[in-house]
Amino acid sequence: MRLYNDGKPRAYKTTVAERFEAKFIPEPNSGCWLWLGALCNDAGYGAFRMGGRRVTSNRASWMIYRGTIPEGMEIDHRCRNPYCVNPEHLRPLTPAANLAARQLDQETCRRGHAMTGDNLLIETIYVRRCKCCRSVSRIRYHSKLRERLEA
């Protein structure tokens, strides 16, 4: 502690890394560093102020421990835990590769159908689709098209 002109004690200024490290705890089983600070969205990504601007905690972790993020890259969680800020669990990916990585981990479609076996349609290396949902969507599209043509 240090006394200022007004006689009030204040803590010394801390570095960005010290401020960051005060906001997570290591989880021993998974190796994740779980973010305890503020959250910036409903997906669970943390918020951290660096250089006068707010960044997500995973990006802040990368910049503090690894350096700059390459241009046009996103920071992906290998562990798929949005609360994790362990730089060993993070990697820079292009937006398309990040989307593909998330889709590969997807076990069910948004309607709950299993994304495996006969129900899985792989359109490109980045796009996986549920055959049930695709079939329902096509039936709906063609019925609406017929209605418009008959009207």
The span from the CA of 71 to the CA of 86, in Å, is: 21
pLDDT classification of 6: cutoffs 50, 70, 90: low
What does the pLDDT read at residue 5?
Answer: 56
User: Average pLDDT over the chain, rounded to whole?
Assistant: 86
Q: Are 54 and 88 in contact (CB under 8 A)?
A: no
Q: Which residues contact 42 (CB under 8 A, 6 or more apart)?
A: none
Which tens digit of pLDDT belongs to each residue from 85-134?
A: 999 999 999 998 888 777 777 778 878 888 788 888 877 766 778 888 88
Instruction: State the amino acid at position 54 in one-letter form.
Output: R
Q: What is the pTM of this model?
A: 0.66
Longest Cα–Cα distance of the chain, Å, equals 85
Cβ neighbourhood burial of 19 (10 Å; 0-12, 13-18, 19+) = middle
